[in-house]
A and B are shown apart, each in its own frame.
With several copies, the nearest count.
Chain A
């Protein structure tokens, strides 16, 4: 079983990312979208996460967020729907 986690909030503001990481299983992945892109610099993600992390490129650029630590793969919003089917389910954190 695998889950795609859609992370729409900033861990600098609220604790959704912490709770998400508590649930994270070996085959899961995280997508950062909207304000979730602020997590690109957050220590919860820049340390110790071996799962795939994606971020919506246009959402990060709009916020002037760079993936400086190269922790994430940039995708477009248009590429996201296909990802939904490569995991068994999707959980949204917002």
Chain B
């Protein structure tokens, strides 16, 4: 079965992240297996549960939560990037939403090997 893995590097404030979320959703609607999403670089900020965005605007965290809960897709947060962006305190998920999993870069290798295609966004 054909499968995808995604790498997200864009900020949750960037409209390109909306594109990425819609693209992943479209893959799922087309019955393409999504093995996981790996958040790297500034992309880790998508996991910050304290981000406040006006209520009439797109809520990226809610969209990630929906994806994870509806389709059971692993959302891997790169630990090193998370530390560099101040999201992790004493190896605990400080202000990271529960739908995200702390993972090492090794997880990206596993995803890459298993997925038919890896899409960097």
Chain A residues close to B by CB (< 8 Å) = 6, 8, 33-34, 56, 59, 77-78, 80-82, 84-85, 89-90, 92, 94
A90 touches B117 (CB 8 A): yes
A33 touches B30 (CB 8 A): no
Interface centre among B10, B23, B30, B32 (most CB of A within 10 A): B23
Complex CA gap A77/B18 in Å reads 11
Q: Once A and B bind, how many residue pairs between them come within 8 Å at the CB atom?
A: 43
- A84: contacting residue among B10, B16, B22, B119, CB under 8 A: B119
Complex CA gap A85/B22 in Å reads 18
List 11 additional A-B contacts (Cβ < 8 Å) besides A8-B16, A81-B4, A90-B118.
Answer: A34-B15, A34-B16, A34-B19, A56-B19, A78-B30, A80-B23, A81-B26, A81-B32, A82-B30, A84-B117, A85-B117
Contact partners of A92 in chain B: CB under 8 A: 119-121
- B15 to A, closest residue via Cβ: A34
Q: Which of B98-121 contact A (CB under 8 A)?
A: 116-121
Contact partners of A59 in chain B: CB under 8 A: 19
Chain B residues close to A by CB (< 8 Å) = 2, 4, 9-10, 15-16, 19, 22-23, 26-27, 29-30, 32, 116-121
A78 touches B26 (CB 8 A): yes
Contact partners of A81 in chain B: CB under 8 A: 4, 23, 26-27, 30, 32
CB distance from A85 to the nearest CB of B (A): 5
- B4: contacting residue among A8, A34, A77, A84, CB under 8 A: A84
